[in-house]
Amino acid sequence: MPSDLLSPAHIAHALHQFRTRSPLVHCMTNDVVQTFTANVLLALGASPAMVIDPEEAAEFAAIADALLINVGTLTADRAVAMQAAIGSAINAGKPWTLDPVAVGALSLRTRFCQQNLERQPAAIRGNASEIMALAGVSRGGRGVDTTDTAAAAIPATQKLAQQSGAIVAVTGDVDYVTDGERTLAVAGGSPLMTRVVGTGCALSAVVAAFCALPGDRLINVAAACGVMKQAGEIAARNGNGPGAFEPAFLDALYTLNGEVQS
């Protein structure tokens, strides 16, 4: 199963659809990345909202266009609310996306992610160690960081897609996105993205939002990765460190027209 390179035209088309629809995205994410996640979605033209009470989360998941579940600062209480939201999203026919942050070595999140793999996630986005742990191939990385390359995780990514029925994206220097049959490669980005907290988590929110678009979900998820890679490249040109990178990244997302940037 070799991978094909995602075309800039696909990214441009998906981004145009995204801006036209401005999806309402219900983000249940970790404490560390809430602000950046919201700002990334706002810069791209989406409408983010974070609703976390179990009763309200179930209500809102049915109203929103897409749901993100990120387990970075999971607690038992939050797991209950997330379960309620996932159930409500499924009933309402809304796509939900899983970000299995640091899954593997930590108990609560590993149980939670494994249980919810059966609940028809539309997409899963993680780094190599997370995807390999979730596919049952390894025990996870070093904290929230990966100890493997994305390329090394391609077989685990394809296996996880086949098991779960989700589009699975493993991200790194190059991102690979698969439905278990076809695999797309997305190049670009900047090493500075690993020195700004939340770029991966925010990508998962963008993936969740792009799952609300019509058309080929494999291509839409890959386009979400491509949009973030393009913005990362533009921002790295302007900035000289992670501090200047972050505002430049948001401005790049805001002005990106989906055409070839490099």
Task: By CB under 8 A, name the binding residues for a second copy.
Answer: 24, 26, 30-36, 38-39, 42-43, 47-53, 55-56, 59-60, 63-64, 72-77, 102, 105-109, 142-145, 194-198, 239-244, 246-252, 254-255
* In the complex, minimum distance from the CB of residue 171 to a second copy, in angstroms, rounded to a whole number: 17
Half-sphere exposure of residue 105, counting CA atoms within 13 Å on the CB side?
10
The answer to whether the annotation marks 215 as part of a ligand binding site is: no
Task: Give the E-state strand segments of the chain in sequence order.
Answer: 3-5, 24-28, 47-49, 66-70, 96-99, 123-126, 167-170, 175-178, 183-186
CB of 227 to a second copy, least distance (A): 15
Closer of 48 and 180 to a second copy (Cβ)? 48
Smallest separation, CB 51 to a second copy (Å): 7
Residue 171, annotated as binding a ligand: yes
Q: Tell me if residue 90 falls in helix, strand or coil.
A: helix
CB-side exposure of 238: number of CA atoms within 13 Å?
A: 14
Q: Which residue, 2 or 76, is less far from a second copy as judged by CB?
A: 76
**CA-to-CA distance for 153 and 157, rounded, in angstroms?**
6
Tell me whether residue 39 or residue 164 sits nearer to a second copy (CB atom).
Answer: 39
What six digits make up the tokens of 188?
A: 């670009």
* Shortest reach from residue 43's CB to a second copy, in Å: 5
Q: Which residues pair with 124 in a beta bridge?
A: 98, 168
Q: How far is the CB of 98 from a second copy (least distance, A)?
A: 17
Does 228 show up as a binding residue in the annotation? no
Q: Which is nearer to a second copy, 216 or 251 (CB)?
A: 251
Distance CA 44, CA 51 (A): 20
The percent helix, strand, coil of the chain (3-state, each to 5) is: 50, 15, 35
Q: Which of 219, 221, 230 is nearest to 258 (CA)?
A: 230
Chain centroid offset of residue 56 CA: 23
Q: Considering beta carbons, is residue 109 or 217 the nearer one to a second copy? A: 109
Residue ranges for the binding site? Answer: 50, 125, 171, 198
Residue ranges for the binding site for substrate? Answer: 50, 198
Residue ranges for the binding site for ATP? Answer: 125, 171
